[in-house]
Amino acid sequence: MTILLNFVIGFLAALVGVIPPGLLNMSAAKISMKTGRRSALLFSAGVCVTVCIQTYIALLFARYLDMHPEVVDFLQKTALGIFVCITVYFFFIAKDTRRDVPKSVKRSKSNRFFYGIFLAALNLLPLPYWVYISVTFSAFGWFSFGQPELWAAVVASGIGTFAMLAIYAQFFRKKEEERRVFNMNINYVIGFLTLVISIITLVKILNNL
């Protein structure tokens, strides 16, 4: 029963976590419109490989935190610095995502898969996200850090992420939608999300003083 509960929580948390427009789901949609759904699914599969690794690392870390709550205060301050740096990067340094990829550039199917792995590795948000999700549900007795249960959550996170990326690849293929959805710099969306997280983290730190 605990394995099933971990799987359900892992799947739903991954599904919800990829719903907001971000670097990975918007890239999957853009690839689908430019080179086809199959390429987008290969890209999504590559993303899921990295997501599973990130989830496993985050859950191991969360298990440690669950046994050592005194470390949480230090990590909140560290996380604040990381999120501020990420916010600055996406607002002022990252290249505009509205730039078109040159038509002369051709990517093989295998390149799409490894591109997904690489791009997902640049996205550090799943690490604190899964720590927060697992520790929170563990406090309610709904999440277990046993080894089989942990792997159930890891596999579910990959399946949930792939499912949502596939939805983006399927439903954002029309040229009209491309002009409407991508007429913005996605980096600003990511930067705004990390800014909100930074503010929330700062408020928590100040409340603990």
**pTM for the predicted model, two decimal places:** 0.68
Task: Report if residue 18 sits inside a domain.
Answer: yes
Task: Report if residue 162 sits inside a domain.
Answer: yes
- Per residue in 114-130, pLDDT (tens digit) is 888 988 888 888 888 88
Task: Report if residue 207 sits inside a domain.
Answer: no
Task: Report if residue 203 sits inside a domain.
Answer: no
Using alpha carbons only, how large is the chain's radius of gyration in Å? 18
- Per residue in 66-105, pLDDT (tens digit) is 787 667 667 667 767 777 887 787 677 765 545 544 444 4
Task: Report if residue 137 sits inside a domain.
Answer: yes
Average pLDDT rounded to a whole number, residues 163-171: 87
Distance CA 204, CA 13 (A): 22
Polymer length in residues for the chain = 209
DSSP string, 58-73: HHHHHHHHHH-GGGHH
The structural domain count of the chain equals 1
Report the candidate in 108, 116, 159, 95 with the shortest Cα–Cα distance to residue 27.
116
Domain extent at residue 151: 2-71+107-185
Task: Report if residue 91 sits inside a domain.
Answer: no
The answer to whether residues 190 and 26 touch, using CB atoms and an 8 Å cutoff, is: no
